[in-house]
Chains A and B, each alone.
Chain A
Amino acid sequence: MVSGAPSKIDTVVIGAGHSGLAMSYCLSHRGIEHVVLERSDVANSWRTERWDSLRLLTPNWQSRLPGLAYEGDDPDGFMTVPEVIEFVDHYADVISAPIQTRTTVTSVCCAGDGYQVDTDRGTWKCRAIVVASGACNVASVPAIASSAPSSIAMVTPLDYRNPDQLKEGGVLVVGASATGTQLADEIHRSGRPVTLAVGEHVRMPRVYRGRDIQWWMDAAGVLDEHYDQVDDIKRARNVPSPQLAGSPGRSTLDLNALTGIGVKLIGRLAGIKNRKGQFSGSLRNNCALADLKMNRLLNTIDEWVSENGLDNEVSPPHRFAATTVEKSPPLDLDLSNGQIQTIVWATGFHPDYSWLGVPVLDRKGEIRHEGGVVDSPGMYLMGMTFLRRRKSSFIHGAGDDARDLSDHLTSYLANTISNADSILQAGANK
């Protein structure tokens, strides 16, 4: 169907990742006619935009979507990327999602009381639309990258596959979230000495009191915290991902682990001038803040354990050593003397909304929404950090969000139908 009249449908879901599929399941369950449009294949970004060694940050038992629980024999393990692809593929089959793959959405705009969705394979008209096209389409690289000397190779986590693709020699990894710490670890172990530029970050142990940190956050209700329960949701949505890795040995990947293998820590990259990187003198405070916040999380867990009378069932509470920072970390780094050959920009990601013609973007280019209900009637958003709950961006977070938002969508469709009916009725009664 390349040309001809637009197809009409109640709802279009954009993106067949775990979020779009969870939504598809809930819509089917509520009898809402819909199609899931996917630019490539199911779980495309897992197939094409992930590095080789990556594993999920969440243990296997947490890999659950509405209508599908983890069925394997390693509940405490962490899925590799091929396993995630298989899991999401399998989910699409199990729920018989109405997916149209290899269909790239080229524009979405308002049309009458709904939306028009143009694709490279025809046009759809719909009354409701779900944007589940992902939070990490584009690597965010700061503007100062353009000041780096041309002798320096630069790579983002979306292009990075493994250390072998990097030149021999030193590597500056910018950013110390889950991505930055994982890449710093494997690149340094490959014999390329890593300097890690550290700004604000979130420190977490992999295992605490004998259980996975995700288990604790799940049990203590931290992951279920609602977007309207937190003090400052804007801030909460911008918190970097925790320094966690899903390794088979369940080891903690914090800054102390990295300095333990020889990674050098340096402050947040603040500028590049005269072929030198300039780094903030705030490293100590950023580490102190992360230590304090981690201890607050551990306090929450300890309180939960006591309140639930579980103190005798798990190992006793303890605290981790404060992050070690050298007395006077360097404030600059020569980028032209050959010591640094590559910069890895682990400075976050952002969505690509270049196709979105509905005026819902704020001045930072983010979609205006209230817990996923977008500021345009009948439009919904899925899969963003802390969309409705702290777990929203995790695989297991998609279920609850999809249930809530599909309920909202269902009643939106019902109400607009009854409005249209009553207008017709009013017309007929004249």
Chain B
Amino acid sequence: MTDKKVDNGVDVEFLLGAREMLTEAPEGAQFQWRAKCDWVYGTHSKTSVEGFFGLGEEQNHKTEHTFDADHPEVFSSEDHGATPVEIVLAGLASCLTASVAAVAQHREIQLNSVSATLEGGMDIQGILGIDSDVRNGFDGIKVTYNIDADASKEDIEALVAQAQKRSAVYDIITNPTNVTVEVS
């Protein structure tokens, strides 16, 4: 056992400091995340994110990030990007994985590699309006983690369980959210 410092690249000190600070000043914890989407052609659209609000003021990403979304050719689309539901899977995977890294850092578990495979089942009779009993969305999502870390199997399972508890996208997907869509 060496006392090599665990480094998963997560600044836990900063997060704990932020937690303390925002406990004292909860108004700073009010964030608003934004995205802007432009239709391109057919089922192809381009979404960009840049600004968001948090810690009491307007904030910006270092640079604008854009995402192309489209549908594959089996839908007679041109496949200029990931299907929106795949982007949902990407959101879940990256949120859970960030959470795994943060919790591992906090628990002083060195991660060597982390990979996740996601499968979302869907009966497209829902979106095609064939059967009103079938929902549009996933009928379930399965996430399988493959983690190499300096920890027991039990500790790794606990890490993944805790990561779900702290994940925003996991919460968004597992719980209902009111969505308001307006035309300006």
Contacts and interface: CB of A to CB of B under 8 A. Distances in A.
A415 B22 CA distance: 36
15 contacts: A267-B174, A270-B175, A271-B175, A278-B175, A282-B174, A282-B175, A285-B161, A285-B164, A288-B157, A289-B162, A292-B154, A292-B157, A292-B158, A328-B140, A363-B26
A320 to B, nearest CB: 14
Given A295-B154, A363-B26, A281 B174 contact: yes
Contacts of A273: 176
Interface residues of B, number: 16
B175 A280 contact: yes
A285 B154 CA distance: 14
Contacts of A328: 139-140
B170 interface: yes
Nearest to B19: A232
Contacts of B157: 288, 292
A414 to B, nearest CB: 34
A289 B165 contact: yes
Contact of A271 (B26, B164, B170, B176): B176
| Secondary structure type dominating chain A contacts | mixed
Identify which of B140, B154, B176 gathers the most chain A CB atoms within 10 Å of its CB. Answer: B176
Interface string A179-220: 000000000000000000000100000000000000000000
Interface in B22-73: 26
Interface of A: 200, 267-268, 270-271, 273, 278, 280-282, 285, 288-289, 292, 295-296, 328, 363
A285 B163 CA distance: 10
A270 B154 contact: no
B116 interface: no
Interface string B120-156: 0000000000000000000110000000000000100
Contacts of B175: 268, 270-271, 278, 280-282
Interface in B158-172: 158, 161-162, 164-165, 170-171
B173 interface: yes
A148 to B, nearest CB: 16
Nearest to A363: B26
B111 to A, nearest CB: 19
A285 B171 CA distance: 12
A270 B176 contact: yes
Nearest to B121: A328
